[in-house]
Chain A
Amino acid sequence: MKRRYVRKLFRTRKIYDLNKTDELFVKAMRENAVYHYTNCLEYKQILDDTSFNPFKIETMEDVINLPFLPTLYFKHHELFSKPLWRMPIKATSSGTSSGFRSKIAMSFGDLWRGFQMIRRIFAYHKLWSLKPVTYLIFGYQPTKHSQAGIMKTAYGFTYVAPARKRVYAIRWTKDGYQVDLELIKQEMIKASKKKTPIRTIGFPAYTYFLLKEMEAEGIKLKMPKGSKITVGGGWKNFYAEKVDKFEFYRLVKEILGIEEENCVEFFGAVEHPILYTDCKYHHFHVPVHARVIIRDPETFRPVENGQIGLINLITPMIEGTPLLSVMTDDLGILHDKCECGVNSPWLEIIGRVGIKDITTCAQGAEEMLKE
């Protein structure tokens, strides 16, 4: 089947020009919806049960009405629209409090589109570099022992600039994966005395904890010019710490001597492999490859920008698994204005639904001795 519109969408040069791509986006969504409808029986049943006809997607309103699938659904069902042997990437989400992980597959075409997207987004954010760097990765060392999507992403990132060296904070040992932040600290101290810039990649919380520790020890470094701190993988699992982003940037500046503008954050999810990159005001603008709908939890209708609701992520990128309209467990707000000059709205993630008001007799007490 031809993927004319999707291909065109992912070749779009102006990556934040949403208005001009609306029509193309709708067409690409129809193309992707029809593809999954005809290749994934379970997906077809879901659309049939709600009498939704994917061949008739003509407007953004139809995209809004396309039944979304909650991430919870992917945790209980494996939906594939291509034979598994034809798909090079099988990724699992990094798992949340529910203990289940989503299983998602991507085809070669999906990867190619992903590459196109990353190429343009990185170019826009000036992240490509020919100068070799030392990668300090606050994440898993890739091994055959894990299929976590985040790990694949992190490894992929180490090709953005040529790697002189890759150092991982979570390494495979005979006792399984072990976190070793001390090693990263020593590498940072070494790097500060050399000329090769560093790039950190990975979970922001780990980076934050290490910087906090270095602050307590009175360590202050000046990293070589061109060094960047990139974080991704979300702040989840660490809501309790309530790490303030700006406190984080202050630490980076103070401990590593790296300016705030060289701190870049990414956001994405296994169930929605679109790369959201923050602008210089640290806002995640929606790129042309995706649309974000914030929905009212009562009616599931979109709310106006500026209002809080459930985050529904939409993209026609993937043909391996029907990920075209995914409802996350997160609450968020879509904002219109940003001083960076990009017109595309930006997404503020407020946090996981209902995580904070649960302390019950039945459940809360169990957490007590667990943590």
Chain B
Amino acid sequence: MILYKGEIYENHYQKRLIDTLREDCYETLEKEEFLKIDEVIEACDKLAQQVKAKKYDDLILPLLEEFDIPYDYFLSHLPMFEKPSLLHKVETELGKNHDKEIPLNEDNNKRRYPLGILFHIAAGNVDALPAYSVIEGLLAGNINILKLPSGDRGLSVKLLSELIKIEPKLKPYIYVFDVPSTETETLRIFAEMSDAIVVWGGDVAIKAARTMASVTTKIIEWGHKLSFAYATLDASDKDLEGLAHHMAITDQVLCSSAQGIYVDTSSREELDQFAKRFFDIFVEINKSHKPVPFGMKSRNALQLYYEELESKKSKKKILKKDGISVITSDDSQLELSMMFRSIWIKMLPKDKIIQNLKPHKNHLQTAGLLAPDNKSEEIKSLLIKAGLTRITKGKDMSRIIVGESHDGVYPLMQYSRVVESFK
């Protein structure tokens, strides 16, 4: 499906539409006033109200069901798209006077402007993400070209075309194409005409985007991140329970999901005792959550059986029950877990935090900190120096707060530029 100036087309119109895309985008730049952020916010707010009024449930409910997301949880995130939140976001990220000329000195003014044209390459792991990326582009005032991820089920096109229905002025600012990643020539056309490529995804996606971009195109990367929990041996049961809930809810699939727990110790014995303590809590907490999907449970069971066969050599210890597991080992390597509630627990004494984590610099995102108050400041400081961008409580690792940065930076600012001009 293609969305072009508010109209939906079948994919075979692709070539014809791409032929006129550059001209149409340039014409918008030439003839239109700058997009008013307030109008974008109003439109998003109306759309959010419609979602709340269950207008799109036929589309949304099956997706929630499939990804095992409770309806209430979904609703609790909707306010993010409502007026007060969006106003707050814009103000936090761009400043109060983002649409005004401000004096730079006696003779000159400065003002924030959109970059111009953004090309979004969205990842497929969250269904509404592609649309969200475009909305951020609009909030900064840009024209947006979106490449849908493979396996997209139409939610993004639906939401964006509804947004245009609410506010027809957005028509020339939104273009969505369903181009496969293999059509690099087409993607290059998009990249070439854009001021920036906004790419979501892992290292492979980012590398590909880098090869696509000419030197005049900026690349804004929302890359693959890893998150973990950091616990002291005297972390409270309550904190561990909170983390266990987080692990059971997110199944380690989000950038902000804890893949495992680093423990502030250099003793394997202490580590294994801690692991046993956490495992017992995890098993209990897990009973209040939906079971691990059968296919993933089977995959992990095989992997764990294999690890057991290798355990004599690898020195790994495995605790498993009810489809969930924890593995302890001698190393401190930051890595992806098996996911779906099979996590790792490793030693990382606090004086080794920087040494061990700094090499991962831009791949680090959230650390859930489980430590008594008198220790947390020191550890927090070390984690920040190592390159983490969010420090939260264990239970809050995947929480979303309006106005918070994205991987340490403000996206709307990334999608903007500051222009100085004489008075």
Which residues of chain B have C-beta atoms less than 8 A from A362's C-beta? 202, 224-226, 253, 255, 336
CA distance A186 to B323 in the complex (A): 52
Which residues of chain A have C-beta atoms less than 8 A from B225's C-beta? 361-362
B54 CB to nearest chain A CB (Å)? 26
Which residues of chain B have C-beta atoms less than 8 A from A361's C-beta? 123, 125, 224-225, 253-255, 257
Contact of B236 with A by CB under 8 A? no
Is A357 touching B123 in the complex (CB atoms < 8 A)?
Answer: no
Is A368 touching B150 in the complex (CB atoms < 8 A)?
Answer: yes
CA distance A181 to B80 in the complex (A): 52
Closest to A46 in B: B309
Closest to A310 in B: B298
Which residues of chain A have C-beta atoms less than 8 A from B339's C-beta? 358, 360
Interface size class of B (residues with CB under 8 A): 35 or more
Is A365 touching B181 in the complex (CB atoms < 8 A)?
Answer: no
Q: Report the interface size for chain A: residues with CB under 8 A from the other chain.
A: 36
Closest to A329 in B: B302
Contact of A241 with B by CB under 8 A? no
Contact of A72 with B by CB under 8 A? yes
A297 touching B208 in the complex, CB below 8 Å, given contacts A360-B125, A364-B125 = no
A302 CB to nearest chain B CB (Å)? 15
Contact of A221 with B by CB under 8 A? no
Closest to B312 in A: A49
- Set A73, A310, A363, A366: member contacting B306, Cβ < 8 A: A73
Interface string of A350-371 (1 = CB under 8 A from B): 0001111111111111111111
Is A298 touching B323 in the complex (CB atoms < 8 A)?
Answer: yes
A365 touching B302 in the complex, CB below 8 Å, given contacts A355-B295, A371-B181, A371-B182 = no
Contact of B294 with A by CB under 8 A? yes
* CB contact list, B203-237 vs A, under 8 A: 203-205, 208-209, 224-226
- Set B200, B301, B310: member contacting A365, Cβ < 8 A: B200
Is A297 touching B301 in the complex (CB atoms < 8 A)?
Answer: yes
Closest to A354 in B: B299
Is B296 touching A366 in the complex (CB atoms < 8 A)?
Answer: no
Which residues of chain A have C-beta atoms less than 8 A from B336's C-beta? 362-363
Which residues of chain A have C-beta atoms less than 8 A from B299's C-beta? 329, 353-354
B153 CB to nearest chain A CB (Å)? 12
A332 CB to nearest chain B CB (Å)? 11
A365 touching B295 in the complex, CB below 8 Å, given contacts A70-B305, A70-B306 = no
CA distance A371 to B310 in the complex (A): 33
A binding-site residues for B, Cβ under 8 Å: 45-46, 49, 69-70, 72-73, 76, 297-298, 300, 308-310, 327, 329, 331, 353-371
Q: A297-B297, A361-B257, A368-B204 are in contact. List 5 more A-B contacts (CB 8 A).
A: A72-B306, A73-B309, A359-B124, A365-B125, A366-B224
